[in-house]
Structure 1
Amino acid sequence: MAHWVRFQRSGAAGFGTLEGDTITVHSGNMFNGATPTGERVALAEVELLSPTEPTKVIALWNNFHALAAKLNSPVPADPLYLLKAGSSLTSPGATVRRPASYDGKIVYEGELGIVIGRKATAVSEEEAGDYIFGYTCVNDITAADIINKDATFAQWVRAKSFDGFGPFGPVVATDVDPASLVVRTVLNGEERQRYPISDMVFPAQRLVSRISHDMTLNPGDIICCGTSIGVGTMKAPSNTVEIVIEGIGTLSNTFVQ
């Protein structure tokens, strides 16, 4: 298993593998042919960036049996998803601010993110694992009151694409069995979500395969697997939100009103 990070130091971006508090710097391409440079830097000496630069972020809806049962929603026959704007992405540790144009409810959604490692077009489910680079933590922040504000059109993309509403990271973990993972969301020190990835309607390889038949997936693209029960509102003036997935790490961001 490796934990890949991107970082900024003295105004320049770099990448490497994180072990404990030390980054082994690499050169080349993270997804194909990365080579250690021999340099090692302390985590405390750099600013972590989002671990990839996706061409698109795909976000699933109704992909967990437990949440579907709670909402009395039928289990979908096909993956139900939307695209989040690339401008919504932000780094681990970043402060996310309430949009000036919106005064309604804003919720956290702790999720597992699939990171694509190879260009994928119409791949089979059996092949799909070869196109997955690894997995990361995602907080799919949502301006919930916008979704159904207009009775004629559900505004999912707008609700999820405000600046900063897509933190992910801090690492991409490779050689992980997603079915063994548990997602936890901790809001201001209190656990609000704890659910197993094994409860997904469409497991990781099936998602990659099915979506790759709709659109080409590029290295670095993120598929946010959807969330389960326990989604809630961030109400305090300042909120610390942690998405914790053992085996990957902890994504921590602050949301301020």
Structure 2
Amino acid sequence: MKLVTIHESGLGVKLENAVLDITKALSVYPEEGIPTDVMAVIGHAESAIPQIERYVERVLEASKGDQTAYLLEESQVKYGPCVTRPGKMICVGLNYRKHAEETNAPIPAYPILFNKFNNTLAAQGDDIPLPTRVTSQVDYEAELVIVIGKQAKYVSKEAALDHVFGYCNVNDLSARDLQMRTHQWLLGKSCDKFSPLGPYLVTADEVGDPNQLTISCTVNGETRQLSNTSDMIFHCNEIVSYISQHMTLYPGDIILTGTPEGVVLGKPVDERVYLKDGDVVTIEIEKLGALTNRMVDEQV
């Protein structure tokens, strides 16, 4: 199932050619217990997903052709972040072999972890402010996000993916001059709206092996990154297991799993052209749809 967040409405379900607005559908076809918030689904997937599936079938069958109030064309949807209130935003740095090589970094022996905060959340279609007062080096990073669905502590690699609800796209935007100012990367990663997330949150059963997905980034239609999640140094099950050895993961926590080669930072210094006002960046991962955002100079 592909779940979406509809701005000012709540939960939606991506169908083949449309998005079903659950909140609006419930006003026409009421039913007790149907969740209208994506976080409630993430935390109760085993009961909530079958319930939503049955409800969607009921609505589509009952509504016949009269579906305009709650069945939306995607162009009509104002998205919110597909995970609205993550408890933790954990990031893995230098997790693709070719990306480590392009930045002349050694292959890490352990996952390099850092974090972002909820102020960085943005959605499909949002304009992303470039904080030009403090940085001139904003870079794109196409990444796969793991969304935790079950509490995880001391889980094995073999059992780790059983604790995953699903996956989505993120652009882990990075202000390189701020990132490299100190040994801690946090400042360059945590500017406002530096983690557009979406458009869909896709359940794990639809994705299958998360380390066999094509991943790409385009800027103004030009392909900048094109790789496969199989190039990860630490695969998704290893990441979840490793983090769970050190902290408890809860439903709704998200893990950004690193970016492949092709970032601006990986180019020779005289060839680096960082993101600027008007640039349109699209992150696309196989089975997860495409996440598109326009960069704009921050208005202060």
Q: TM-score if structure 1 supplies the norm length? A: 0.91
Q: Which letter does structure 2 place at the counterpart of 1:238?
A: G
**Root-mean-square deviation (Å):** 1.8
Q: Which letter does structure 1 place at the counterpart of 2:9?
A: A
2:296 equivalent to 1:256: yes
Shift of 1:100: 4.9
Shift of 1:44: 4.2
Q: 1:168 to 1:69 in 2, by over 3 A?
A: same
Higher strand share: 1
SS in 2 for 1:238: coil
Q: Which letter does structure 2 place at the counterpart of 1:30?
A: V
Task: Determine the C-alpha separation between the residues in 1 that align with 2:101 and 2:130.
Answer: 31
Task: Determine the C-alpha separation between the residues in 2 that align with 1:66 and 1:219.
Answer: 31
Aligned to 2:194: 165
Q: 1:68 to 1:121 in 2, by over 3 A?
A: same
Task: Determine the C-alpha separation between the residues in 2 that align with 1:142 and 1:70.
Answer: 16
Task: Determine the C-alpha separation between the residues in 2 that align with 1:212 and 1:166.
Answer: 23
Q: 1:216 to 1:121 in 2, by over 3 A?
A: same
2:243 equivalent to 1:246: no
Structure 2 stretches lacking a partner, 5+ long: 24-33, 60-69, 265-272
Report if the CA contact (8 A) 1:114-1:136 is conserved: yes
Report if the CA contact (8 A) 2:214-2:286 is conserved: yes
Task: Determine the C-alpha separation between the residues in 1 that align with 2:81 and 2:147.
Answer: 12
**TM-superposition CA deviations, 1:131-178 (whole Å, max 9, x none):** 1111111100011101222xxx32411111111101011111222121
2:80 equivalent to 1:49: yes
Q: 1:236 to 1:24 in 2, by over 3 A?
A: closer
Shift of 1:48: 1.5
Shift of 1:4: 1.4
Q: TM-score if structure 2 supplies the norm length? A: 0.78
Q: 1:145 to 1:202 in 2, by over 3 A?
A: same
Q: Which letter does structure 2 place at the counterpart of 1:225?
A: T
Q: Which letter does structure 2 place at the counterpart of 1:48?
A: Y
Which of the two has higher C-alpha Rg? 2
Provide the identity percentage: 35
Report if the CA contact (8 A) 1:143-1:160 is conserved: yes
**TM-superposition CA deviations, 1:111-135 (whole Å, max 9, x none):** 1111111121221111111111111
SS in 2 for 1:178: coil
Report if the CA contact (8 A) 2:3-2:13 is conserved: yes
Higher helix share: 2
**TM-superposition CA deviations, 1:70-122 (whole Å, max 9, x none):** 33322222110100011111111110111253132110011111111112122
Q: 1:3 to 1:96 in 2, by over 3 A?
A: same
SS in 2 for 1:214: coil
Aligned to 1:89: 121
Aligned structure 1 segments of 4 or more residues deviating by more than 6 angstroms: none
Aligned residues: 251
Alignment of 1:69-218 (within 5 A): 69-149=101-181, 153-174=182-203, 175=205, 176=207, 177-218=209-250
Report if the CA contact (8 A) 1:109-1:227 is conserved: yes
Aligned to 1:16: 13
SS in 2 for 1:217: coil
Alignment of 1:33-44 (within 5 A): 33-34=47-48, 35-36=51-52, 37-38=55-56, 39=59, 41-42=71-72, 43-44=74-75
Task: Determine the C-alpha separation between the residues in 2 that align with 1:189 and 1:75.
Answer: 31
